[in-house]
């Protein structure tokens, strides 16, 4: 069983500025990658009952899927150096969120209802970041050590399970 623990963080002003900058860059990345998928989908689909007899065949692009978008993060970091400041796994988790949102659009839930089209995130609407892999000894007393951000004060509402902290 996987368990996730959420705790309240109390960053200082520098850390807060870093986190806010990261969230804005992640929001832009999310919207860009979602837009890539939407444009590919609209360019490469044709309704079955309404296809014209003569259709110009456009140059087909590769489907922007999870691994190709993750691989393209290298180009993003080259073009926009601010993305180098973000921890790589946090940036990759943004791509994973796009994949999950796009996949949910096509699949029905357990009751057979289709979920809505994913939306672009407006300013301030990308509110969390995830470190998918974090070291077990990152929490020391009331602080957590996050890569590329530093030690942040942590308010624990419940104790951590045995073996999680040093």
For residue 22, how many other CB atoms are within 10 A of its CB?
Answer: 22
Going residue by residue through the chain (166 aa), what tens digit of pLDDT does each one get?
Answer: 556 667 788 999 999 999 999 999 999 999 999 999 998 888 777 666 666 666 666 666 677 889 999 999 999 999 999 999 999 999 999 999 999 998 888 787 778 777 788 999 999 899 998 888 877 778 888 898 999 999 999 887 777 666 555 4
Task: Evaluate whether 95 touches 70 at the Cβ level (below 8 Å).
Answer: yes
The gap from C-alpha 96 to its chain's centroid, in whole angstroms, comes to: 5
Over the stretch 86-126, which tens digit does the pLDDT of each residue have? 999 999 999 999 999 988 887 877 787 777 889 999 998 99
Distance from C-alpha of 35 to C-alpha of 51, rounded to nearest angstrom: 24
């Amino acid at each position: 069983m996987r368990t996730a623990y959420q705790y309240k963080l109390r960053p200082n002003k520098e850390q807060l500025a870093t986190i806010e900058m990261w969230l804005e860059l992640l929001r832009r990345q999310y919207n860009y990658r979602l837009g890539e998928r939407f444009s590919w989908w609209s360019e490469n689909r044709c309704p079955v009952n309404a296809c014209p007899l003569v259709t110009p065949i456009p140059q087909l692009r590769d489907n922007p899927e999870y691994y190709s978008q993750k691989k393209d993060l290298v180009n993003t970091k080259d073009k926009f150096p601010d993305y180098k400041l973000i921890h790589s796994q946090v940036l990759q988790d943004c791509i994973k969120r796009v994949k999950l949102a796009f996949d949910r659009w096509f699949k029905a839930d357990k009751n057979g209802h289709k979920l809505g089209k994913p939306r672009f995130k407006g300013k301030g609407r990308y509110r969390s970041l995830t470190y998918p892999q974090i070291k077990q000894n990152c929490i020391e007393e009331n602080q957590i050590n996050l890569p590329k951000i530093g030690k942040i004060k942590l308010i624990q509402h419940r104790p951590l399970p045995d073996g999680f902290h040093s």
